[in-house]
A and B are shown apart, each in its own frame.
Chain A
Amino acid sequence: MNVLAKTAAAALLSASTLALMPTGPAFAETVLRLDEVAVGELDPAKASDYADSILMFNVYDTLVVPAQGAPGLVPHLAESWSADGNSHTFKLRKDVKFQSGNPLTAEDVVFSLDRMKALGAGLSYLFANVDRAEAADENTVTFVLKEPYAPFVASMLRLPIVDKKLVMENLGDGDGDMKDWGQAFLSANGAGSGAYKVTAHNPQQETVMAKSADYFLGVPDAAPDTVRLRYGLEPATVRTLIAQGEHDISSQWLPPEVLKALSQDGAQLLTESGTGGFYVKMNTTKAPLDDPECRLALAKAFDYSAAIKMIAVTDEISQGSPATGAIPVGMLGANPPSNELSRNLDEAKKHMDACRYNVGDQNIEISWIAEVPLEERFALLMQANFAELGIQSEIKKMPWALFAEQVSKAENTPHISQLFVNAVTGDPDTLLYGMYDSKAAGTWQSPEHLNDADVDKLLEEGRVNSDEAARSKAYHELNNRLMAIAPSIYGYDRQSVFAASNRVKVPALSDPSKAFGLDGMGFTFRLMEMQDN
């Protein structure tokens, strides 16, 4: 071996030895690992489901946020707001910068609204009533509504503010001045002011996010440095990963038995509640369910307590609590918890007798969404319950895409569909309007195809009236009306339950005084605390 080769070998050896030696005090990077259902939509104007909301609430900010542990909203990007007729004016903070370094101004708010309305996707229907937004100056923005809309400020929870300058620099192909409105760019990159920035994103596999050092509220040291949000993991995989200490927070879609097993292994259970329910929706245009008596018979025959038992995780924690009506307990217009719905077969038989159809001739189609295995159990429960009234039924498994397509026409919609529906802003309007207003019939939320003048009138009163007491009265009346005509069976008030390792503390999902009362907001990563163990 010549001298050169020996020297090179010695240099390599010393270099590799150096690389192995500690180079000073090391601070371990904390990584939070969690999972959600398949496909994470990063574009905030297209965000609609839970996975999208987690991304949206961390990468972007909104003008207001829900108060923790109490009803109402508190300022966030906005310092204050005021209403004057159909105009709502927000004063913005001056110290907020986007992750790109661009300052956040009223122009960005106007752009975000225009973009949301132009794309018409996700939850853009919340802003259909907004005529325009105007920037009065750099820090003042005014929204002008077409008609009065009482819960307007709450809908601001679903308007994430996008970095206009950055998006305009990255417009993709398309017609007109705005080309694609930056859709291609925002499907793969973040352009927000949030506490976490996207470092890698594959909508079907994983999104990786890292702390944004310049966040205007600061990010505590205890918050995770990196977050890995994985999509579409099988329940058995999540079960094993958490047990082995390789995963931190599960999605809410784990079956109760799996959550229970994890809890018995020492995992903590986190909860989020108060904004939605499990609705068994009946097609009010198809015989025999076009007769309210027949619907009431089914609603009375449904075994509510069996449903609650089915979703119980432990003696204390369940994926739901007994329903008291169409509106979940705690929301405006809800009945008190003591009004629990329960099964009454005698009453069910009376309603059946009053129904104008002959029971024996009827065959009811009970559908369940293929992606939600729990629904098959409810389908079997209903089949057994309805059989006691002499009603024959058949169970039909439907993939979500097929279901969403079929509900657009009343004649193609199954007799019975099962859905979990949430108030996307926490206000009953966003829960009930989409389900029961005759103008909203035929969407995935409204397979009832309900057309009831009284319901329409009360829904309108609830959204137009700015007086809280009058709204409360309208929603109470609406609740009663919906109980009387039973377009749905109100299965139970939903509570999301997540299994988590003990490496992370999530006050917003474990301490009621820190809870937000808005789905997905509990996953605000900057408020989580990573533990040393």
Chain B
Amino acid sequence: MRRIFYILLSNPLSVIGLVLVGTVVFSAVFADFIAPFPSHRGAVVDFSNFNQPPHWPNIFGTDLVGRDVFSRILYAYRISLILGVVVLAIAVPIGVTVGLAAGYLGGWTEFCLMRLTDVFLSIPPLVLAMSVMGLLEPTLTNGMLAVTTMWWPWYARLVYNVTRSEAQEGYVLAAEIIGASRLHVMFREILPNCVPSIVTKMTLDLGFVILIASSLSFLGLGVQAPTPDLGSMVAEGGNYLPDSWWLTVFPSLAILIAVFGFNLLGDAFRQVLGSDQ
């Protein structure tokens, strides 16, 4: 563990990633305390102070109904992180189970599960998510469902490949010889060896989930007003460029920071866990 931290901290990019992710997570968790105007995440209007450029105390300016853009970005981070964590919490177990079963059991199980995965992978991710959202009401829950639908196949494919190679290892054969059940072999023997790859991908994916959820909101299929959401903020602000630039620039930077941070951290994990193995 100490070695992992040492490798992480010895790489400047990893440190930047850690700092960015730390900032995002801290902002989201403690938004209630950091946000100068916590009530501005909801249905608040203040037409005496609307569409104002950055000034004190609205350091990122105010939006078109007078709400503090900085406060809304903090709360939008919270929504984005909740969405990212929930999506991965659902998509990863599904994908991992499918990948393990297909890779270890082989035969018809492999054929059916992996072809199903291929079908999902063959549809462009955003189109698939848009189709799901088009059928359902645009709410946070349905947004999570839409993104989950497009995310699990990647884990199935990843775990399938690792399982295929691990299944040939001596420790798996040894477990089989002493009569271990298939479930035991899959989840107790093979799965622990897939964990480094899964954790690396999850860290990388958290940024992409935030990005894709923002894209859905940008297209008007995400969470609804007055809930703050980075993608919706960029989309709305886009109508008022270049004059009201703060409506677009700050939420865009917020997305950039989150995605960039998780990417750097994911790369760092890949290095650390790869060398650990």
Contacts and interface: CB of A to CB of B under 8 A. Distances in A.
Interface of A: 234-236, 239-240, 255, 257-258, 261, 306, 309-310, 370, 373, 376-377, 379-381, 383-384, 387, 393-397, 399
Chain A contact residues: helix, strand, loop or mixed = helix
B138 interface: yes
22 contacts: A234-B239, A236-B240, A239-B242, A255-B64, A255-B239, A261-B243, A309-B47, A310-B50, A370-B220, A373-B239, A376-B225, A376-B236, A377-B65, A380-B226, A384-B43, A394-B224, A395-B224, A397-B138, A397-B220, A397-B224, A397-B225, A399-B220
A399 B138 CA distance: 12
Interface residues of B, number: 21
B243 to A, nearest CB: 4
B65 A381 contact: yes
B142 interface: no
A306 B47 CA distance: 7
Interface string B37-69: 000000111010011000000000000110000
B253 interface: no
B254 to A, nearest CB: 20
B196 interface: no
Contact of A377 (B64, B241, B242): B64
B241 A239 contact: yes
Nearest to B222: A397
Interface string B214-228: 000000100011100
7 A-B pairs closest in CB distance: A383-B43, A261-B243, A236-B241, A235-B239, A384-B45, A395-B225, A306-B47
A257 B226 contact: no
B238 interface: yes
B244 interface: yes
Given A380-B43, A381-B45, A236 B225 contact: no
A373 to B, nearest CB: 6
B131 to A, nearest CB: 15
Among A380, A381, A396, chain B packs the most CB atoms within 10 A around the CB of: A380
Interface in B16-56: 43-45, 47, 50-51
Contacts of A395: 43, 224-226
A258 B240 contact: yes
A383 B47 contact: no
Nearest to A379: B225
Contacts of A255: 64, 239-240
Given A257-B244, A381-B45, A234 B65 contact: no
B238 to A, nearest CB: 6
Contacts of B47: 306, 309-310
Interface in B222-258: 224-226, 236, 238-244
Contacts of B241: 236, 239
